[in-house]
Structure formats: structure tokens, C-alpha cells
Structure 1
Amino acid sequence: MSQRFNLRQIAPDGYKAFGPLYQYIETSGLDRRLVDLVFLRVSQINGCAYCVDLHWRDLIGAGEDQRRLNSLVTWKEAPFFTARERAALAWTESLTNIAQTGAPDADYALVKSEFSEKEVGDLTIVISLMNAMNRVGISSRLAPAA
């Protein structure tokens, strides 16, 4: 599969506009590993091969356990995730599949039980940004290097 277009080249100002969101996330106070887990899970759900590869490598580089990463797709059944991570992953799936879920009150109540209101907002930004980046990667046919 060949790349359709390079957004950095054809719309550089639009592409650069994502940068401040990444910078905000870095200073939000959310744990970097949690952010990368969420980035990876969003990318798995959306099927963005480039982003799955990128965030998997980021997590491995940060010392994340491969067993946890291999079990991320089965996080509901796997015993390797904390209550806070589970709440974040549930919110991630709810928002990433929002056309089907409608982000129900039960999902909000769960994430609110583990995160402050600001953290829920920041987590929502993390999820939204990765969903946007996945759409850029998938539509342009961006692929990981072999």
C-alpha cells in the first residue's frame, strides 16, 4: 500500500496546529505511560498501523512490560492493569466508538471515580487528539517502516 498524501507537505500549517495539543498534554500532569497506553489503544481500535507501531515502540522504550502491551486488546479480562488504567481505557473505548456508545453516564462515572474533573478533560483531549491523528494516518495510508 502506498502513501496517498503527506499532510505535513500539503497542509503544513494545519498539521502544525496539532503541535500545541501535544505540548499541552505533556504539561497536563497525566502520566506519560498512561497517555501512551491510551494512544496505543485508540490506534488499535481504529486500525492505524503507523500509530500502533509508533506508540508500541514508545512504550517499550519507556520500559513498559511486553506482556501488558500484548494484553492491551484484552484489558477487561487481563489482570495487568490498575483501576485507574481500566477507567482510562474504558473512557478511551467509549469515546473512540462514540457513534455506537454515545459516551454513556456509566462510562463517565467510572472515569470520574479515578480521575479529577481536570484529568477527565485532559484524558478526553488525549483520546480526541489520537483519534484525529489516526484519521490522518489511515486516510493518507501512512505505514510504519518495514
Structure 2
Amino acid sequence: MEKRIDIQKLEPNAYEAMFGLEKYLSSTGLDKTLALLIEIRASQVNGCAYCLDIHTKNALKNGESQRRIFALSAWWESPLFNDKEKALLQMVDEISLISEKGLSSPTYQKAKEQFTDKEIAQIIMQISTINVWNRIAISTHMVHEE
């Protein structure tokens, strides 16, 4: 795969804005484990190897188990994730694949049972941000280190 343009070099203000979102996300208090599950799962859904490499390494450093990372691709069948995490992961899938059905009412209601409105807002921002990073990495053919 041939690397394409480097948006960070060509449009540094765009990256500065993205880093601003990252700064906001790190200040929300959203549990780090949940944030990393979002980043890994969205990157799986979108097929972003670059982001999967980064976020799985970060999850392992944060204490996440390899077993749970491997099970993320079939989270809905796995007993390794609790109801709160399953509600979150369903949100990730539906928001990442927004054109299919959007964030469905049943999923939103499950989220409301597990999270406050403020947390739901933070989760939506986390999901949206990783989806932008995935789209940048995929469209520019960013490649992770071997």
C-alpha cells in the first residue's frame, strides 16, 4: 500500500483541531478502559490497521487483557464484557456505521440505563473522534510500524 498525502504536514491546523478534541476527551473523566474499548472497536469496524496498532498497544499498557482485545470482534457473544461495556460497544457499532440505522432507540435506552446523559455525550464525542482519525488514516494510507 502506497502512502498518500500527509495531512498533518499539509494542513497542520486540521491536526491542531483534532488534537484539541483529544485534549477535551482526556479531560472528560470517561473511564480509560471504556475509551480504549471505543477506539479499538471503532477501528475494527472501520478496518483501520494503523489505529488498531496504536490503540491495542495503549490498551495493553493500560492493563487490558489480550483475551478481551481478541474477543472485541464478537463482543455481543462474549461473557468477558459486562452490560455497561456491551451498551457502550453497541453504541460504537451503530455510530460508526451511522448510515445503516443510526443510533437506534433500543441501544440508546440501554445506554441510558448504564450512563448519565453527560457520559453519553462524552461517549458520542469519543466515538466520533476515533471515526475521524480512522477516516484520515485509511484515506491517506497511513501505515503502522512493523
| Equivalent position of 2:32 in the other structure | 32
What SS class does the counterpart of residue 18 from structure 1 fall into? helix
Provide Cα deviations, 1:31-66, integer angstroms capped at 9, x if missing partner. Answer: 011101100000000001100111000001111111
Supply the distance in 2 between the matched residues of 1:110 and 1:136 (Cα, whole angstroms): 31
Supply the distance in 2 between the matched residues of 1:104 and 1:33 (Cα, whole angstroms): 24
What SS class does the counterpart of residue 77 from structure 2 fall into? coil
Provide Cα deviations, 1:59-117, integer angstroms capped at 9, x if missing partner. Answer: 01111111000000011001001111111001111101110022211111111110000
| Equivalent position of 1:59 in the other structure | 59
1:1-146 aligned at under 5 Å gives the runs: 1-146=1-146
CA displacement at 1:2 relative to structure 2: 1.9
List structure 1 segments (4+ residues) > 3 angstroms apart after TM superposition: none
TM-score with structure 1 setting the length? 0.97
Match for 1:68: what amino acid?
Answer: R
The number of residue pairs the alignment matches comes to 146
Give the aligned CA root-mean-square deviation in angstroms: 0.7
Match for 1:45: what amino acid?
Answer: V
Supply the distance in 2 between the matched residues of 1:39 and 1:18 (Cα, whole angstroms): 15
Q: Which runs of 5+ in 1 are unaligned?
A: none
CA displacement at 1:6 relative to structure 2: 0.9
TM-score with structure 2 setting the length? 0.97
Q: Percent identity?
A: 34
Q: Which runs of 5+ in 2 are unaligned?
A: none
Supply the distance in 2 between the matched residues of 1:116 and 1:88 (Cα, whole angstroms): 12
